């Protein structure tokens, strides 16, 4: 086809964006990797002296507990988001076209709205003088305020609330593609409702389930705002540990080592996803 490539815009247009991201996204990640093998200066800062001690320090049970806690919260959040998100996504995918876009708008607006402030709103609801406690006290259900804020429960609630849209969107894309005739066919062939769900809907929606789970798990495992505002001193997650090491203790090498453990978790998940055969493309999900 002569002149075919002529209709395209020149390829070098990609260069500025690639350079920008390479210099300011990829290079910084390698700096974190390098710093994680460096030694801490007496007053913070970095001394370029190779050591593995930052990683060896991480074997300490305290860090193990924080890592375990993060993985636990992320797993629970993913499961809860799936349980809440699936009926929702399925329902809106089956709604008439015009309604679908309204439902999606309703999910997307909070999704893009200030995360910090939305998390703060839960503090108003959960704190001792908050909405829930005032309500329960006035109705005589309890006579002492219950501690809701600064508990693991509050963190889990905040995480599910914050990351639910990440689950709903890919699930919706998957459910929307599902041919309703298949469900009718299964029912006609005497499949029970449970069987229809287990053997028709779920297998077909699986790419959405996997994409959604990864999109929820990755940001939750590194969450910072939610545990920082809603969690107590004991509910620290990796994100808080990183912030603590960098900005409070100013032990950058140790903070970098923690960051790299987090990157490791993320990379393992993403490669499992990428090599997992048929999957939803991420960019279709975040349109």
Partner 1 sequence: MRRRWSWLCCATWTTILFLYLPIGVLILFSFNASRLSASWQGFTFDWYRLLANDRSLITAALNSCFIAVVSTGLALCLGVSGVLGLEGLRARQQDVIDSAIMLPLVIPEVMMGVALMLFFVTIRMPLTLATVIIGHVVFNVPLVMVIVRSRLKKLDRRLTEAARDLGASRWQVFRRVTEPLLRPAIVGAGLIAFTVSLDDFIVTFFVAGPGATTLPLKVYSMIKAGITPEINALSTMVVVASMSLVGLSLLLQRKFV
DSSP string, the chain: -TTGGGGSPPGGGGHHHHHHHIIIIIHHHHHHHHHTTSEE-TTSSEE----SHHHHHTTSHHHHHHHHHHHHHHHHHHHHHHHHHHHHHHHHHHS-HHHHHHHHHHHHHHHHS-HHHHHHHHHHHHSTTSHHHHHHHHTTS-SS----TTSHHHHHHHHHHHHHHHHHHHHHHHHHHS-HHHHHHHHHTT--HHHHIIIIIHHHHHHHHHHHHHHHHHHHHT--HHHHHHS-TT---HHHHHHIIIIIS--HHHHHHHHHHHHHHHHHHHHHHHTSSS---HHHH--
CB of 281 to partner 1, least distance (A): 7
**Residue closer to partner 1, measured from CB, 231 or 239:** 239
**Residue closer to partner 1, measured from CB, 16 or 140:** 16
Cβ–Cβ < 8 Å for 211, 170: yes
**Residue closer to partner 1, measured from CB, 15 or 185:** 15
**Residue closer to partner 1, measured from CB, 59 or 194:** 194
CB of 134 to partner 1, least distance (A): 4
**Residue closer to partner 1, measured from CB, 9 or 278:** 9
CB of 52 to partner 1, least distance (A): 19
CB of 168 to partner 1, least distance (A): 8
CB of 261 to partner 1, least distance (A): 11
**Residue closer to partner 1, measured from CB, 34 or 204:** 34
CB of 16 to partner 1, least distance (A): 5
């Amino acid at each position: 086809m002569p002149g075919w490539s002529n209709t395209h815009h020149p390829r070098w247009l990609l260069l500025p964006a690639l350079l920008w991201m390479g210099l300011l996204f990829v290079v910084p990640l390698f700096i974190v990797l390098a710093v994680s093998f460096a030694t801490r200066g007496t007053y913070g800062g970095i001394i370029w002296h190779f050591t593995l001690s930052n990683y060896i320090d991480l074997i300490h049970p305290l860090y193990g507990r924080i890592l375990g806690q993060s993985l636990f919260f992320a797993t629970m959040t993913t499961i809860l988001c799936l349980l809440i998100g699936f009926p929702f996504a399925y329902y809106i995918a089956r709604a008439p076209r015009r309604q679908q876009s309204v439902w999606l708008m309703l999910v997307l607006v909070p999704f893009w709205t200030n995360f910090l402030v939305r998390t703060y709103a839960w503090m108003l609801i959960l704190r001792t003088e908050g909405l829930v406690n005032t309500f329960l006290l006035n109705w005589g259900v309890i006579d002492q305020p219950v501690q809701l804020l600064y508990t693991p429960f509050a963190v889990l609630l905040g995480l599910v609330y914050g990351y639910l849209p990440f689950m709903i969107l890919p699930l919706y894309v998957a459910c929307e593609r599902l041919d309703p005739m298949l469900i009718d066919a299964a029912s006609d062939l005497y499949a029970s409702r449970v069987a229809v769900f287990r053997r028709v809907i779920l297998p077909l929606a699986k790419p959405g389930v996997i994409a959604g789970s990864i999109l929820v798990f990755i940001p939750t495992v590194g969450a910072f705002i939610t545990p920082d505002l809603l969690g107590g001193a004991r509910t620290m997650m990796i994100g808080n540990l990183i912030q603590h090491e960098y900005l409070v203790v100013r032990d950058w090498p140790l903070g970098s080592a923690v960051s790299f453990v987090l990157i490791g978790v993320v990379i393992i998940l993403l490669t499992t996803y990428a090599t997992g055969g048929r999957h939803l493309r991420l960019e279709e999900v975040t349109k």
